[in-house]
Amino acid sequence: MPPPRSAASALAANARRIADVLRRTGPATRAEVALRTGLSRATVSAALNQLLDSELAVEIGSGPGGPGGGRPPAVVRLGPRAGLAVGVDIGNRHLRVAVADLGHEVLAVANENHHAGRPARVVLDRAAEMVTRELSGLGYGLAEVVGIGMGLPAPLGNRDIGRDAGGASVAASNLLPAWAGVSPGRELSERLGCPVSVDNDANLGALAEFLWGAGRGTSTIAYLKAATGIGGGLVINGELFRGVTGTAGEIGHVTLDERGDVCRCGNRGCLELVAGGAALVTAMRRTHHEVGTLGELIRLGIDGDPGCRRILADAGSHIGVALGSLVNLVNPEAIVIGGELGQADELLLDPMRRALRRAAIGPAVDAARVVPAQLGDRSEVLGAVAVVLREHDQPTPC
């Protein structure tokens, strides 16, 4: 069990500062902690000993050895006694929950299927039940949780969505039509008694891939969640960049054809209308009546069906063109492609890279690796965990 709040509040300032750095950045050697905090090694050693003695931190394994050889240094991380972070990812066909400790170790991930048409209250009731169940299965309760992150595939009507405990409301969305006007963070917080941070799922995918996936070790990435629709998220200089209204990186609504069809966002000719999963399945069914889902289309393409391969290649080209402006403006080190469409791998990515090279300036394209996401369908739920680890101000249990 974690220490009582009085023990946590009694931590010396330096120990609290180090705990906060470990919570944000994950396991580190003592030398790395000194570098990240700016504290002297002697101060770091004394403060870490306090955290270790109180069992808020633990030593695990060893880091890399130095150039001269010798025994590699020990790695320190926060342990479960410091608290837990919970992530909830609500999609139009799935509900996922993840539990992690503040040392960045994922302790449990659970997944259930559901239908987008279910009432929001029913889905939130089930999400609360799943959170409670997973915590109980680990031998913990809500008292150990420092915060909950939640991701939704929908626009959110609040300027400070990532840090707001629950005021963000869902704007109209064809992916979650029953959620318009709902404040999911407030609703889930009332059910569980913990602060809840709500964000767009693509933003959370970007943060997870930056910390633990294909963007690890970089400073700036662009993440695309290409599935039924197309969403995007940006991490710039190590921080999730949401923009003023939380819509930064929404490449799915870049206009490719001013005379094209009207999109759900109100504009014409958006990328999502020609490269989103729903559009691809609709186009494919004109000749392949048996194709009912994006997954089926991708499987047929991988198996060699020429029509499906062409549909996927065209989608990659359209996305590459839209990425050109983003690459010129943001100059990322990596462009990470996630979501179900990303499972098409090089059938999608190769034409995407060729189109991007035609659409952006050479040095920017040379610097930007276009790579598949590494965390698979867990990107968004792990991103919800990451929001708690990086953005909750105090590592204090509920």
Asked whether residue 279 is domain-assigned, the answer is yes
Confidence (pLDDT) at 317: 97
Rounded to a whole number of angstroms, the distance between the first and last alpha carbons of the chain is 13
Confidence (pLDDT) at 11: 60
Same domain, 168 and 122: yes
Structural domain harbouring 197:
83-203+379-391
Confidence (pLDDT) at 177: 67
The number of folded domains in the chain is 3
Same domain, 24 and 128: no
Starting from the edge strand earliest in sequence, which strands make up the sheet with 239-241, in order? 239-241, 230-236, 221-226, 334-338, 369-372
Confidence (pLDDT) at 8: 45
Confidence (pLDDT) at 63: 55
For the chain, residues with pLDDT lower than 50 are 1-10, 158-166, 395-396
Instruction: Tell me the pLDDT tens digit for each residue of 343-387.
Output: 999 999 999 999 999 999 999 999 999 999 999 989 999 999 999
Same domain, 165 and 298: no
Confidence (pLDDT) at 175: 62
128/40 Cα distance (integer angstroms) = 44
Same domain, 365 and 221: yes
Same domain, 108 and 222: no
Asked which of 63, 81, 99 is the last residue of a domain, the reply is: 81
Asked which of 25, 55, 81 is the last residue of a domain, the reply is: 81
Asked which of 50, 81, 112 is the last residue of a domain, the reply is: 81
Asked whether residue 116 is domain-assigned, the answer is yes
Confidence (pLDDT) at 6: 37
Same domain, 144 and 34: no
Predicted structure pTM score:
0.87
Same domain, 241 and 164: no
Same domain, 387 and 238: no
Where residue 24 sits, what CATH number does that domain have? 1.10.10.10
